[in-house]
Amino acid sequence: MAAQSTTAEATPGQHVYRCVGSITIARAASTQREIDALPDPLTLDLSGVQKMDTVGAWVIYRTVRDRGARVVGGGATVEALLKQVAEADSPTQIRPEEPSSALRILREIGEWVAEAGQTLVGLVGFLGAVLVSFATIIRWPKRFRLNAVIQRFDLVGVRALGIIGLMSFLIGIVIGQQGAVQLRQFGAEVYTINLVGRITLRELGPLMTAIMVAGRSGSAFAAQIGTMKLTEEVDAMRTIGVSPIEALVVPRMLAAVIMMPLLSFYSMIVTLIGGGIYVWVDLGIPPLTYIERLQEVVPIRDLWVGLVKAPVFGFIIALAGCFQGMMVEGDSEQVGIRTTAAVVQAIFLVIVVDAVFAVFFSQVGWI
């Protein structure tokens, strides 16, 4: 499909652009460049055109429109194509208009504030709806969906054992190693056991578990419920008379609240094992001694401090996940945005609440 375009000066002052062969989208860029290079007044000779498509026709048409060029020699097909693109000439904007940057920053701040306010109000409303649902279920226990809850237990709890175990074991080793290196400078490496024991039970166990559960299950809650919102499953439930909060949110809430302390406890034990193995290998403290030392230096109260926090973390994770899932509207992109928001919010709130707990426990003397 070789094509050439030649130019010739037929009459003085009159430039002729002669198209030969095909004038299609494949040659649009070069044809346009060649036409642009020619000065006015211009005549376009199309007698040699064998193949033309709408883009080729458009290049001719815009030259006629913008520069008042004369067209000669087009056959019936060419004429029809030119007429057709002329009919479709209605300039459209490509992108929505962007306001100036100062205005945009102001607008974004405004939108952000409004959204934060709406989220807060929405979250409080959602919390209320969840509590009402819990109350309803307590009054009419028949509405409790045992199967759904058990299924969530499996997904949130049992299936998380592997990854949480691995993570906790490695954390135990890291804490033991870091502690030993630092404490050795003072000749106090035996206190590594105090460090591992207390930090694990009080903070790391529930906190690391919460982060893992937020990433694993909180995101899944948001994505599942969000997708169900998009496919109108949630609307279908409402129409049938099933409360989506009862059917979707309550089982997930319960699963997170009940599984979090269990997973935290499991995480604590595995972390202690990891720390114990490191202490055994590096410091030569045998496991039995390690366990005895743990019993001496770690008060049982530390365990309670850790385990009291866990269900609260679970509640926050499930609340953020389910709430963000329910907020999904419009298109599939929203599911991604809301899932991210669920995880970020959950982890942020967990850390805030953890700080509040720390202050509280030190005030009541549980140090």
Partner 1 sequence: MSRDTVISIRGLKNSFGEQVIHEGLDLDVRRGEILGVVGGSGTGKSVLMRSIIGLQTPSAGEIDVLGENMIGREEDEAKNIRRRWGVLFQAGALFSTLTVAENVEVPIREYFPFIKEDLLDEIASFKIAMSGLPANAGPKYPAELSGGMKKRAGLARALALDPELLFLDEPTAGLDPIGAAGFDELIMQLQKRLELTVFLITHDLDTLYAICDRVAVLADRKVIAIGTIPELLALDHPWIQEYFNGPRGRAAALGHEEQAAHD
Which residues here bind partner 1, judged by CB under 8 A?
24-26, 28-30, 32, 53-55, 58-59, 62, 80-81, 84-85, 87-97, 330-333
Q: Shortest distance, CB of residue 119 to partner 1, whole angstroms?
A: 20
Task: To the nearest 10°, report the CA torsion of 179, 185, 187, 190.
Answer: 0
Helix (H) or strand (E) segment spanning residue 51:
strand 42-52
Place of tokens 């969906």: 145
In the complex, the smallest distance separating the C-beta of residue 330 from partner 1, rounded to whole angstroms, is 5
Q: How far is the CB of 126 from partner 1 (least distance, A)?
A: 24
| Cβ nearer to partner 1, comparing 58 with 361 | 58
Minimum CB distance to partner 1, residue 332 (Å): 7
Minimal CA–CA distance to 318: which of 175, 183, 133? Answer: 133
DSSP letters, 329-351, are: -SSHHHHHHHHHHHHHHHHHHHH
Q: Are strands 70-72 and 5-9 parallel, antiparallel or unpaired?
A: unpaired
Contacts of 99 (CB under 8 A, 6+ apart): 107
Ramachandran class of 71: left when φ > 0, alpha when ψ lies in -120 to 50, beta otherwise? beta
Q: Rounded to the nearest 5 degrees, what angle is found at the Cα of 313, between the Cα atoms of 312 and 314?
A: 90
Structure tokens at 13: 């002052």
- Residue 88 CB, nearest approach to partner 1 (Å): 4
Query: Residue 183 or 341: which CB sits closer to partner 1?
Result: 341
Contact 321, 220 (CB under 8 A): yes
Nearer to partner 1, 88 or 240 (CB): 88
Cβ closest to partner 1, residue 6 vs residue 332: 332
Output 94 or 146, the one with its CB closest to partner 1: 94
Least separation, in Å, of the C-beta of 227 and partner 1?
15
Nearer to partner 1, 65 or 159 (CB): 65
Which amino acid belongs to residue 51?
A: K
Q: Count the Cβ atoms, other than its own, within 10 Å of residue 325.
A: 28
